[in-house]
A and B are shown apart, each in its own frame.
Chain A
Amino acid sequence: MRHRSLLLLTTALTAGALGLSACGSRDDKGSDNGERGGGRTTVVIGLDAPLTGDLSALGQGIKNSADLAVKNANKSNEVPGVTFRLTPLDDQAQPTSGQQNATKIAGDAKAVAIIGPLNSSVAQSMQQVAQSNTIALISPANTTPDLTQGKDWKQNHRKRQFTTYFRTSTTDEVQGAFGGTYAHEQIKAKTAYVIDDQKTYGVGLASSFSATFTSLGGKIVGTEHVNPEDRDFKAIVSKAKSTHPDLVFYGGEYPASAPLSQQLKESGVTVPLMGGDGMYSADYITLNKKSAGDYATSVGKPVEQLDSAKKFIADYKAAGYKDRYEAYGGSTYDATWAVVQAVKAVTAENGGKLPDDARAKVVQALNKVSFPGVTGPVSFDQYGDTTNTMITAYQVEGTAWKARYSAAYKR
Chain B
Amino acid sequence: MHELPQQLANGLILGAMYGLIAIGYTMVYGIVQLINFAHGEIFMVGGFGALTAHLALPDGTALALALPLMIAGGVLASVTVAVAAERFAYRPLRGAPRLAPLITAIGLSIALQQAVWKWYPDAKKARVFPQFKGESLHLLGATVQRGEIFLLAAAPLCMLALGLFVTRTRTGRGMQATAQDPDTARLMGVNTDRIIVIAFAIGAAFAAVAAVAHGLKYGQVDFRMGFITGLKAFTAAVLGGIGNIYGAMLGGVVLGVAEALATAYIEDIPGMSQFGGGSWKDVWAFVLLILVLLLRPQGLLGERVADRA
Question: Which of B10, B104, B218 interacts with A10 by CB under 8 Å?
Answer: B104
If A56-B124, A232-B218, A283-B126 are given as contacts, then 16 extra A-B residue pairs at C-beta distance below 8 Å, sorted by A number, are A2-B95, A6-B92, A6-B96, A13-B108, A13-B110, A24-B117, A54-B126, A54-B222, A55-B125, A225-B279, A226-B279, A233-B278, A234-B260, A235-B11, A235-B278, A262-B219
Instruction: Say yes or no: A224 contacts B278, CB within 8 Å.
Output: yes
A23 and B88 alpha carbons, distance in the complex (Å): 25
Instruction: Say yes or no: B277 contacts A225, CB within 8 Å.
Output: yes
B115 is an interface residue with CB less than 8 A from chain A: yes
A198 and B282 alpha carbons, distance in the complex (Å): 15
Which 5 pairs between the two chains have the least Cβ-Cβ distance?
A235-B263, A234-B10, A20-B114, A225-B279, A17-B110
B203 to chain A, nearest CB (A): 20
Of the candidate stretches A286-294, A324-332, A393-401, the one touching chain B is A286-294
A306 and B125 alpha carbons, distance in the complex (Å): 30
Instruction: Say yes or no: A266 contacts B103, CB within 8 Å.
Output: no
| CB contact under 8 A between A5 and B279, given known A239-B264, A289-B131 | no
A350 and B164 alpha carbons, distance in the complex (Å): 85
Question: Which of B2, B107, B260 interacts with A13 by CB under 8 Å?
Answer: B107
Instruction: Say yes or no: B228 contacts A229, CB within 8 Å.
Output: yes
A225 and B7 alpha carbons, distance in the complex (Å): 17
Interface centre among B7, B126, B220 (most CB of A within 10 A): B126
Q: Which residues of the partner chain B approach A287 to less than 8 Å between Cβ atoms?
A: 126, 128, 219-220
Instruction: Say yes or no: B107 contacts A241, CB within 8 Å.
Output: no
20 A-B residue pairings within 8 Å (CB atoms): A6-B100, A9-B88, A10-B100, A13-B108, A13-B111, A14-B111, A16-B114, A17-B107, A17-B114, A24-B117, A231-B218, A231-B220, A231-B225, A232-B218, A235-B7, A235-B260, A236-B263, A238-B264, A262-B218, A266-B143
B171 is an interface residue with CB less than 8 A from chain A: no
A303 to chain B, nearest CB (A): 22
Chain A residue with the shortest CB-CB distance to B145: A266
A361 and B136 alpha carbons, distance in the complex (Å): 61
A55 and B6 alpha carbons, distance in the complex (Å): 32
B259 is an interface residue with CB less than 8 A from chain A: yes
A38 and B95 alpha carbons, distance in the complex (Å): 67
B93 is an interface residue with CB less than 8 A from chain A: yes
Q: Which residues of the partner chain A approach B125 to less than 8 Å between Cβ atoms?
A: 52-57, 255, 283
Instruction: Say yes or no: B218 contacts A6, CB within 8 Å.
Output: no
Chain B residue with the shortest CB-CB distance to A23: B118
Instruction: Say yes or no: A9 contacts B11, CB within 8 Å.
Output: no
Instruction: Say yes or no: A235 contacts B145, CB within 8 Å.
Output: no
A268 is an interface residue with CB less than 8 A from chain B: yes
Interface flags, A201-237, vs B, CB<8A=1, else 0: 0000000000000000000000011110111111110
Interface flags, B1-35, vs A, CB<8A=1, else 0: 01100110011011000000000000000000000
Instruction: Say yes or no: A239 contacts B118, CB within 8 Å.
Output: no
Q: Which residues of the partner chain B approach A266 to less than 8 Å between Cβ atoms?
A: 136, 143, 145
| CB contact under 8 A between A52 and B117, given known A2-B95, A13-B108, A266-B143 | yes
Interface flags, B64-81, vs A, CB<8A=1, else 0: 000000000000000000
Instruction: Say yes or no: A225 contacts B6, CB within 8 Å.
Output: no
Interface centre among B2, B125, B222, B277 (most CB of A within 10 A): B125
B281 is an interface residue with CB less than 8 A from chain A: yes
Interface flags, A269-313, vs B, CB<8A=1, else 0: 000000000000001001111000000000000000000000000
Question: Which of B3, B128, B264 interacts with A286 by CB under 8 Å?
Answer: B128
A31 is an interface residue with CB less than 8 A from chain B: no
A56 and B13 alpha carbons, distance in the complex (Å): 31
Q: Inter-chain contact count A-B, CB under 8 Å?
A: 136
**From residue 1 to 40 of chain A, which have CB atoms closer than 8 A to chain B?**
2-3, 5-6, 9-10, 13-14, 16-17, 20-21, 23-24
Q: Which residues of the partner chain B approach A14 to less than 8 Å between Cβ atoms?
A: 107, 110-111
Interface flags, A239-282, vs B, CB<8A=1, else 0: 10110000000000001001100110011100000000000000
Q: Which residues of the partner chain B approach A23 to less than 8 Å between Cβ atoms?
A: 118
Instruction: Say yes or no: A268 contacts B143, CB within 8 Å.
Output: yes
A23 and B125 alpha carbons, distance in the complex (Å): 16
A233 and B125 alpha carbons, distance in the complex (Å): 20
B292 is an interface residue with CB less than 8 A from chain A: no
A267 and B217 alpha carbons, distance in the complex (Å): 12
B159 is an interface residue with CB less than 8 A from chain A: no
Q: Which residues of the partner chain A approach B13 to less than 8 Å between Cβ atoms?
A: 234
Chain B residue with the shortest CB-CB distance to A226: B278
Q: Which residues of the partner chain B approach A16 to less than 8 Å between Cβ atoms?
A: 111, 114
A198 to chain B, nearest CB (A): 6
Chain B residue with the shortest CB-CB distance to A287: B220
Q: Which residues of the partner chain A approach B131 to less than 8 Å between Cβ atoms?
A: 289
Chain A residue with the shortest CB-CB distance to B147: A266
Instruction: Say yes or no: B107 contacts A10, CB within 8 Å.
Output: yes
Question: Which of B11, B93, B281 interacts with A6 by CB under 8 Å?
Answer: B93
A273 to chain B, nearest CB (A): 15
Instruction: Say yes or no: A230 contacts B278, CB within 8 Å.
Output: yes
A195 and B277 alpha carbons, distance in the complex (Å): 10
Chain B residue with the shortest CB-CB distance to A1: B92
Q: Which residues of the partner chain A approach B264 to less than 8 Å between Cβ atoms?
A: 235, 238-239
Question: Which of B14, B93, B126 interacts with A232 by CB under 8 Å?
Answer: B14
Interface flags, B113-129, vs A, CB<8A=1, else 0: 11101100000111010
B13 to chain A, nearest CB (A): 7
Q: Which residues of the partner chain A approach B260 to less than 8 Å between Cβ atoms?
A: 234-235, 238
A55 and B95 alpha carbons, distance in the complex (Å): 44
A46 and B228 alpha carbons, distance in the complex (Å): 33
**From residue 84 to 110 of chain B, which have CB atoms closer than 8 A to chain A?**
88-89, 92-93, 95-96, 100, 103-104, 107-108, 110
Instruction: Say yes or no: A239 contacts B263, CB within 8 Å.
Output: yes
